[in-house]
A and B are shown apart, each in its own frame.
Chain A
Amino acid sequence: MRVGFTVNGREETADDVWEGESLLYVLRERMGLPGSKNACEQGECGSCTVLLDGVPVCSCLVAAGQAEGRRVRTVEGLAEGDRQAPIQEAFVECGAVQCGFCTPGLLVQAHDLIERVPRPSDADIREALAGNLCRCTGYEKILAAVRLAANRRAENP
């Protein structure tokens, strides 16, 4: 089948999509957007998180056909040209990235949090990121990065 939706502001279509293909697979293998990751493909790790019509979802659990005609934003769509989004800058500065495999999903999820909640508490951050596994960092630097990005955003809205 043919599937079409908006990705990071651009209309994209994919042909010969098999009904069982996930949104994640179509993004990664058919649209040249491998930024969203495939750590479990069973909805448990959050590495594939994208915004679907502005709401974070695990793209491995969304059938590609369900995205038809909708708006998808992936990690590749967070930066504006060469300028990284504040949450991306903060992840690099704070050492929140090690292997980085969890990073795209965490960035999308954390970006959504700081857009919704101006000054999240640590408990808010933990709750929002509870579905995103990271095996490398022990999460301390990730918390630091989200705090930093949230503070910067609150200071320069």
Chain B
Amino acid sequence: MSVAPARAPRDIAAPGGGGVGDSALRPDGVLKVRGEFAYSSDLWIDGMLWGATLRSPHPRAKILSIDTSEALAHPGVWTVLTHEDVPGRKHFGVDHTWDQPVLAFDEVRHQGEPIALVAADHPETARRALEKIRIEYEVLEPLTDARRAAFDPAYPRVQPRGNVARHQPVRVGDVDAARELAEVVVSGEFQVGMQDQAFLGPESGLAIPAEDGGVDLYVATQWMHNDLEQIGPCLGLAEDKIRMTLSGVGGAFGGREDLSMQIHAAMLALRTGKPVKIVYNRYESFFGHVHRHPAQMRYEYGATKDGRIVYADVEIILDGGAYTSSTKNVVGNAASLAVGPYVIPNVRIDAYGVYTNNPPCGAMRGFGAVQACFAFESMMDRLADACGLDPVTVRQVNAAAEGSALATGQIIWAPLPMAEMLQTARELPMPAPADTGDLRDLPGGVSQTTHGEGVRRGVGYGVGLKNICFSEGYDDYSTARVRLEVIGGEPVAMVHTAAAEVGQGLVTLEAQIARTELGVRRVVIQPADNRVGDAGSSSASRQSYMTGGAVMTACQAVREGMAALAAARFGHARDDLSFTGDKVVSESAGVLGTIAELLGDAVIEETREYHHRPTTGMDPVTGRGDSHAQLALCVHRAVVDVDVDLGLVKVVELAAVQDVGRILNRVALEGQIHGGSAQGLGLAVMEEIVVENGRVRNPSFTDYLIPTILDMPPMRLEILENADPRAPYGLRGAGEPSTLSSTPAIVAAIRDATGLALTRVPVRPEHITGSS
């Protein structure tokens, strides 16, 4: 048997009460505020070693030789590993892409690519040993031009498989014919910089070698089973030899969908026979995960004079960097949502994901829809100007609704009250004018850059449409095991899934669902691990829907078992019986007894998989397809003050109107909308990984800025509940939509204040002052 670490994930009893719809408290909240929650960087076990990773300083180079002898001789070093030591498959990659070397061999394709590993008895010893590994490189000129990668067949290849990871067209009607009919034509070129997830908990984990030759892995991830599909073959181990347990996750936002230190720590542990912990520092974290794809986008819309769009001609290039990661699915999203929630009869969209020697890009909250949303919302404002309409009206004129078709031909079959949501956003009360007597109210704050002179206010709107759950024909499912038994005289529901709690509050919701479905008060959430079936990823705003659905159906199966016992015991028909407040209740006869008495020593355990309705792929030529399982909408109104002399922006207020189908936990839900809006604000005005010639210039929180409490304004929320009849409890995934719409709303507000075109995010002071 294997030994558990001293600080390890454990069963968590959900406190208090609260069923579906109540603002139940987080089960892990008390542990977290007491500093007792076991994050993956907190893991500790006697005798453990520390692992460290040597990474390429070059974005593109041939590796001529690797000499580890000096590092191996360094006191305190236990082992040094290179690609030759990878026990099994030499490549990994999320979603079966298998193109990323576990450790680089012939060539490095991006700065920060891992090349060698060290295990030592102190983290500083490990770091110093890294400096003693000698590598001879033949440095090559990095290939960093995404446009050439997309279109120039003469451009050298980053990957043997060619430079285009995916090209997805969408074709509707006849754009060339429609061009003749258009009375107004607007066009623009837009860019989105590379955004980082910047989760606060660094990549980290602990690998413990086991007696059976396998390994116990404690890691922070978004999708345990997909990790396992990659780790197993690379280690040359059967999956049952790898026992994964989710350790505390300090945020994810897409950045933990790809592997980071998992295989590396396991290799070091298996080689040394000792537990090995790896913790990245912030610098390494910037190289340790994929980022949001930077985008170059060209849009042209034609419309009638009254603002009705007759055609859209769109080209989107997404720079995926050196390896595939999620690029193909990101392209699918960008293509299918390229014109957003607007009804356009003639459409030509071409979305490309390409390889370059820039840092690899993959999943980040909003996943391909964020980039397109900035462009199409900017286009809506241009169209409003060209037609002399206000920005809300032009959106309402073209708004999709229930029954409309997306560009892909997919019919929106659930409520989508977009025009009404825009109206609501417009009519919300406006914030007061800035108090020029309090510097903290002004752009620049206590830096005293202005006392109100040069400050102009602007208002802008943004609408985002996000697909929820996995799309394009993926058989998306989650699994839950629910066990009901009497412990200490009370019935207790134990909920076990492999779904990753990354901060979003899934564990809270699981407990709420168990209480609602089983009528019991006490719920225990077991640590997520791979001793239960796949739950899919904590991404695509899908876990409330998918794992929520799985817990719901497993609970319903347990309830059936209880009902059978109760029917036999009390002689009532099953449909006369229900369970609430730990009691068995008959509709006709009232309380019959307690669940505890009914169960006695019996244990009822059920495992269920939950699948959402099937979707289809996108046609490779026309893009047609019923490709999304669910769609969710958020509308933002942003109010900003801009110091036009210095280019400083203060976001004064963000208002969001979002339709969530059904509120399952208002407090947790509001937290998702706030947090998503904040990340959109970051992209609008501050966040970018600056890459020059393949090199990251700002891999630190000193130079990569994320919003602080001073940057984030008060928010006003209007939450609608138009149920989606096909989803559990009528819910609509809620984690991502606000991330889409807050960025264009804020940029529109800055345009409104300054009159500038602003075609690139993040907007920098020099874009406003014109000094760049």
Residues of A within 8 A of B438 (CB): 123
CB distance from B255 to the nearest CB of A (A): 10
Q: Which of B379-436 contact A (CB under 8 A)?
A: none
A39 touches B122 (CB 8 A): no
Residues on A with beta carbons closer than 8 Å to the beta carbon of B706 = 133, 135
> Chain A contacts of B502 at CB under 8 A?
99
* Minimum distance in angstroms from A13 CB to a CB of chain B: 18
Per the bound structure, the CA–CA distance linking A89 and B34 in Å amounts to 10
B503 touches A76 (CB 8 A): no
Number of A residues with CB within 8 Å of any CB on chain B: 60
Q: Choose among B44, B124, B708, B715 the residue that contacts A18 (Cβ–Cβ < 8 A).
A: B124
Is A117 an interface position by the 8 A CB rule? Answer: no
In the complex, which residues of chain B have a beta carbon less than 8 angstroms from the beta carbon of A33? Answer: 35
CA distance A103 to B26 in the complex (A): 14
Closest B residue to A108 using CB positions? B35
A55 an interface residue at 8 Å Cβ cutoff? no
Q: Name A126's contact: one of B250, B670, B710 (CB within 8 Å).
A: B710
Task: Kindly list 19 other residue pairs between chains A and B, CB separation below 8 angstroms, not including A100-B503, A130-B709, A135-B675.
Answer: A34-B35, A35-B36, A36-B35, A38-B41, A74-B35, A75-B35, A84-B34, A88-B33, A92-B26, A99-B249, A100-B250, A101-B39, A123-B438, A127-B440, A133-B708, A137-B678, A139-B678, A141-B670, A143-B709
Min CB–CB distance B175 → chain A (angstroms)? 40
Closest A residue to B676 by CB, please name it: A138
Interface centre among A100, A123, A138 (most CB of B within 10 A): A138
* Min CB gap B444→A, angstroms: 14
Q: Which residues of B contact A101 (CB under 8 A)?
A: 39, 199-201, 250-251, 503
Interface status of A26 (Cβ within 8 A of chain B): no
Taking a contact as CB atoms closer than 8 A, the residue among A28, A126, A138 that contacts B715 in the complex is A138
What residue in chain A is nearest B33 (Cβ atoms)?
A88
Does chain A have a CB within 8 A of B348?
no
On whether the beta carbons of A135 and B709 are closer than 8 Å, the reply is no
A145 to chain B, nearest CB (A): 10
Do A103 and B33 contact each other (CB < 8 Å), given the known contacts A138-B674, A139-B709? yes
A residues less than 8 Å from B249 (CB atoms): 99
Q: Which residues of chain A from 77 to 116 have any CB-CB distance to chain B below 8 Å in the complex? A: 78-79, 84, 88-89, 91-95, 97-104, 107
B33:A38 contact, CB within 8 angstroms: no
The verdict on A68 contacting chain B, using a C-beta distance below 8 Å, is no
Q: Which residues of B contact A40 (CB under 8 A)?
A: 281-282, 700-701
Q: Which residue among B252, B446, B668, B710 has the maximum number of chain A CB atoms within 10 Å of its CB? A: B710
Q: B699-717: contact bitstring with A at CB < 8 Å (1 yes, 0 no)?
A: 0111000111110101100
Partner of B671, one of A41, A92, A123, A137: A137
Of residues 5 through 50 on chain A, the ones whose CB sits less than 8 Å from some CB of chain B are 18, 20-21, 28-29, 32-42, 44-45, 47
For the complex, what is the distance from the CA of A93 to the CA of B41, rounded to whole Å? 26
A3 to B667, CA, bound (A): 44
Contact: A37 with B200, CB < 8 Å? Answer: yes
Residues of B within 8 A of A64 (CB): none
Q: Given A36-B35, A42-B701, A92-B29, are A138 and B667 neighbors across the interface (CB < 8 Å)?
A: no
- Residues in B whose Cβ lies below 8 Å from that of A129: 709
**Is the CB–CB distance between A29 and B44 below 8 Å?**
yes
Measuring CB to CB, which residues of chain B are less than 8 angstroms from any residue of chain A?
7, 23, 25-26, 28-30, 32-37, 39, 41-42, 44, 122, 124, 197-202, 248-253, 279, 281-282, 438, 440, 446, 502-505, 667-668, 670-671, 673-679, 700-702, 706-710, 712, 714-715
A154 proximity list for chain B (CB < 8 A): none
Beyond A39-B282, A136-B503, A139-B674, whether A44 also contacts B33 by CB under 8 A is no
Q: Which residue from A28, A41, A88 sits with its C-beta under 8 Å from B282?
A: A41
Closest CB in chain B relative to A21 CB, distance in Å:
8
Q: How far is the CB of B507 from chain A (nearest CB, A)?
A: 11
Interface status of A150 (Cβ within 8 A of chain B)? no
Interface assignment of A155: CB less than 8 Å from any CB of chain B: no
| Docked-complex contact B28 and A100, CB < 8 angstroms | yes
Q: Is the CB of A99 within 8 A of B33?
A: no
* CB <8 Å contact, B199 and A99: yes
Q: Are A39 and B200 touching (Cβ within 8 A)? A: yes
Interface residue? A57 (CB, 8 A) = no
Least Cβ–Cβ distance between A25 and chain B, in angstroms: 8
User: In this complex, which of A18, A92, A100, A130 has the most chain B Cβ atoms within 10 angstroms of its Cβ?
Assistant: A100
Bound state CA distance, A124 and B503, in angstroms?
27
Q: Closest Cβ of chain B: how far from A31's Cβ, in Å?
A: 11
Complex interface: chain A residues within 8 A of B250 (CB): 37, 39, 99-101
From the candidates B33, B504, B707, name the one contacting A107 in the complex (CB within 8 A): B33
Question: Contacts A100-B250, A101-B200 hold; do A140 and B714 have CB atoms under 8 A apart?
Answer: yes
A134 adjacent to chain B (CB < 8 Å): yes
B253 and A135 within 8 A (CB) = yes
Cβ of A74 to closest chain B Cβ, rounded Å: 7
Is A142 among interface residues, defined by CB-CB distance under 8 A?
yes
* In the complex, A132 has a CB within 8 A of chain B: yes
Partner pick for B200 among A28, A32, A45, A94, CB 8 A cutoff: A45
Question: Hey, which chain B residues are within 8 Å of A38, CB to CB?
Answer: 41, 202, 279, 281
How far in angstroms is the closest Cβ of chain B from A23? 15
A34 to B25, CA, bound (A): 24
Chain A residue numbers with a CB within 8 Å of B34 are 35, 75-76, 78-79, 84, 88
24 pairs of residues in contact across A and B, judged by CB atoms under 8 Å: A29-B44, A34-B7, A34-B44, A39-B201, A40-B281, A40-B701, A41-B281, A75-B35, A79-B34, A84-B30, A91-B29, A92-B33, A95-B668, A100-B28, A100-B32, A100-B37, A100-B250, A102-B200, A126-B710, A127-B440, A133-B701, A136-B675, A138-B671, A139-B674
Q: Cβ of B26: which chain A residues have Cβ within 8 Å of it? A: 92, 95, 97
Q: How far is the CA of A44 from the CA of B440 in the complex (A)?
A: 21
In the bound complex, how far is the Cα of B502 from the Cα of A135, in angstroms? 12
Known: A39-B250, A138-B677. A126 touches B709 (CB 8 A): yes
Among A127, A130, A135, A143, residue most surrounded by chain B Cβ atoms (within 10 Å): A135
Closest to B502 in A: A99
Chain B residues with Cβ below 8 Å from A39 are 200-202, 250, 282, 701
How far, in angstroms, from A143 to B762 measured CA to CA in the complex? 26
Question: Once the chains are docked, how many angstroms separate the CA of A84 from the CA of B33?
Answer: 8
Contact call A35/B35, Cβ cutoff below 8 A? yes
Residues on the A chain within 8 Å of B279, using CB: 38
Alpha-carbon distance between A123 and B671 when the two chains are bound, in angstroms:
21
A97-B251 contact, Cβ under 8 Å, with A123-B440, A137-B674: no
Which residues of the other chain, B, contact A74 by a CB distance below 8 angstroms? 35
A88 to B252, CA, bound (A): 24
Q: A-B pairs with the 6 shortest C-beta distances?
A: A35-B35, A99-B503, A138-B674, A101-B250, A100-B32, A44-B701
The closest CB in chain B to the CB of A129 belongs to B709
Which residues of chain A are near B41, meaning CB under 8 Å? 34, 37-38
Inter-subunit contact A98/B708 (CB<8 Å) = no
- List the B side residues contacting A41 at CB < 8 Å: 281-282
Closest partner residue, chain A, to B36 (CB atom): A35
Q: How far is the CA of A55 from the CA of B282 in the complex (A)?
A: 25
Q: Is A98 touching B504 in the complex (CB atoms < 8 A)?
A: yes
Which residue among A34, A123, A126, A141 has the maximum number of chain B CB atoms within 10 Å of its CB? A34
> Given the known A-B contacts A39-B201, A44-B701, A136-B675, are A98 and B33 also in contact in the complex, defined by CB atoms under 8 Å?
no
Nearest B-chain residue to A87, judged by Cβ: B33
Give bound CA distance, A75 to B674, whole Å: 25
In the complex, chain B residues whose CB is within 8 Å of the CB of A79: 34
Inter-subunit contact B712/A18 (CB<8 Å): no
Q: Which of A76, A97, A123 contacts B29 (CB 8 A)?
A: A97
Bound form: Cα–Cα A142–B715 in Å: 13
Least distance between A10 CB and chain B CB atoms (Å): 15
> Using an 8 Å CB-CB cutoff, how does the interface string of A54-76 with B read, 1 for contact, 0 for none?
00000000000000000000111
A45 — nearest CB in chain B belongs to which residue? B701
Cα distance, A75 to B670, chains bound together (Å)? 26
Q: Within the assembled complex, what's the spacing in Å between the Cα atoms of A107 and B253?
A: 23
**A95 vs B701: C-alpha distance when bound (angstroms):** 25
With a cutoff of 8 Å between Cβ atoms, the chain A residues found around residue B44 in the complex are: 29, 32, 34
Residue of B with least CB distance to A146: B709
